[in-house]
């Protein structure tokens, strides 16, 4: 039975470590999609979620009817396009996997044209119906869609930088899996901090600038030379592995659904008063502001009001520092592209 699966158990265990209980309505926008469906199912199995509101421009009522038969406490209702106001009313957490995914050969930035306007319009709806909700953006390119969302909220006069998150948990999930495969450890004890710095294009090849901080990871000690290089590459290009294997039918959906549900669980645990809940996430950040980079993904402590504390990136190895220096200008461009789009809209 699904409710007994490892993923559900993980969410349940994490839930039981929280002392406070509260009503938590979670809305998923894009719930009918490849990510939206499995993520909604996992959220239905999370004891911290008390109500699930599933919205999509197609198929959400069907997905909700199906998921609502899972015998866990959360209520679950689906909404069609005209009902976005009802879907969002009272939502404390909104997760957004709406948009188009990558096809082979595409970078996340190639998705900009379509996803930018989808995220902008959903942001307008959130500003109107649930301006105080915690917003978790999955739609790519996250480096641009998060700033777009922020600009729409600013225009509406409701922006709170502590409540807006770009979901980068999948990189952490992948890192933990790949490293544990090499070291023979249990993935749950194999946590790697990852800085997600977005896509870069170099020499005609697309590359993902995801910087795994293996030098800060105890379990990674001893992974050196070619093994280190291969691991970094696999973490950086894990998304491409899935895009290629799916051969044109989409990108990571099931693992992303899992990662999204894990992030929401952490967020709610923080909202419920649990201390020391830390997840890497892409937020408005002071870390590289002096270099003109307004948003950055690093470890963030989550609390009652969202972002409680942004952790510094810590001591980097020479290789990690080089990778970071190389990608900050690209990140800055991705952010500016989002801001300009929103301002021109």
**Contacts with ligand NAI, residue ranges (CB under 6 A):** 29-30, 32-36, 56-58, 97-102, 111, 115, 118, 121-122, 138-140, 142, 167, 170, 250-253, 256
Give me the sign of the Cα torsion angle 10, 12, 16, 22. positive
Angle at 276 between CA 47 and CA 12, to 5 degrees: 20
* Strands 75-79, 295-303: pairing kind: unpaired
Residue nearest to ligand NAI (CB): 33
The active-site residue out of 69, 129, 205, 311 is: 205
Phi and psi at residue 26, in whole multiples of 5°?
-115, 130
Structure tokens at 255: 């693992």
Smallest gap from Cβ 215 to ligand NAI, in A, equals: 23
CB of 40 to ligand NAI, least distance (A): 11
Of how many residues is the chain composed?
A: 345
Q: How far is the CB of 49 from ligand NAI (least distance, A)?
A: 19
Closest to ligand NAI by CB, 252 or 293: 252
Q: Where are the beta strands (DSSP E) in the chain?
A: 25-29, 51-55, 75-79, 93-96, 134-137, 164-167, 194-202, 205-212, 277-284, 295-303, 306-310
Active site residue 205: yes
Which CB, 101 or 147, lies closer to ligand NAI? 101
Minimal distance in Å, beta carbon 302 to ligand NAI?
17
Determine contact, residues 121/96, Cβ cutoff 8 Å. Answer: no
Of 97 and 306, CB closest to ligand NAI: 97
In sign, the C-alpha dihedral spanning 204, 106, 255, 268 is positive
Q: How far apart are CA 284 and CA 306, in angstroms?
A: 12
Cis check for the bond before 141: say yes or no (omega within 30 of 0).
yes
Shortest separation between residue 125's beta carbon and ligand NAI, angstroms: 9
With respect to ligand NAI, which residue has the nearer C-beta, 48 or 122?
A: 122
Residue nearer to ligand NAI on the CB measure, 183 or 345: 345
CA distance 59 to 281: 29
How many Å apart are CA 197 and CA 7, to the nearest integer?
Answer: 27
Residues recognised as catalytic: 205
């Amino acid at each position: 039975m699904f409710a007994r699966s490892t993923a559900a158990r993980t969410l349940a265990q994490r839930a039981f470590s929280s002392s406070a209980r509260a009503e938590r309505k979670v809305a998923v926008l894009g719930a009918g999609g490849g990510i939206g469906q499995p993520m909604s199912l996992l959220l239905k199995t999370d004891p911290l979620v008390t109500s699930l509101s599933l919205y999509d421009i197609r198929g959400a009522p069907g997905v909700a009817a199906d998921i609502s038969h899972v015998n866990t406490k959360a209520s679950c209702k689906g909404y069609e396009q005209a009902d976005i106001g009802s879907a969002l009313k009272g939502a404390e957490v909104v997760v957004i996997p709406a948009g188009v995914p990558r096809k082979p050969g595409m970078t996340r930035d190639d998705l900009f044209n379509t996803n930018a306007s989808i995220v902008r319009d959903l942001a307008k709806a959130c500003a109107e119906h649930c301006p105080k909700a915690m917003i978790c953006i999955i739609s790519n390119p996250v480096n641009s869609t998060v700033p777009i969302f922020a600009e729409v909220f600013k225009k509406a006069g409701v922006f709170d930088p502590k409540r807006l998150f770009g979901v980068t948990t999948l990189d952490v999930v992948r890192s933990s899996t790949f490293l544990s495969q090499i070291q023979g450890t249990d993935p749950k004890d194999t946590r790697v901090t990852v800085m997600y710095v977005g896509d870069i294009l170099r020499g005609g090849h697309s590359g993902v600038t995801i910087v795994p901080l293996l030098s800060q990871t105890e379990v990674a000690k001893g992974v050196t030379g070619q093994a280190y290089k291969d691991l970094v590459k696999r973490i950086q290009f894990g998304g491409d592995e899935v895009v290629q294997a799916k051969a044109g039918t989409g990108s990571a959906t099931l693992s992303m659904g899992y990662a999204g549900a894990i992030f929401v669980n952490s967020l709610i645990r923080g909202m419920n008063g649990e201390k020391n809940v830390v997840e890497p996430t892409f937020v408005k950040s002071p870390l590289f502001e002096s270099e003109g980079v307004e948003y950055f993904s690093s470890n963030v402590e989550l609390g009652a009001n969202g972002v409680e504390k942004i952790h510094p990136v810590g001591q980097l190895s020479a290789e990690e520092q080089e990778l970071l220096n190389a990608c900050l200008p690209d990140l800055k461009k991705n952010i500016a592209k989002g801001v300009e789009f929103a301002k021109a809209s």
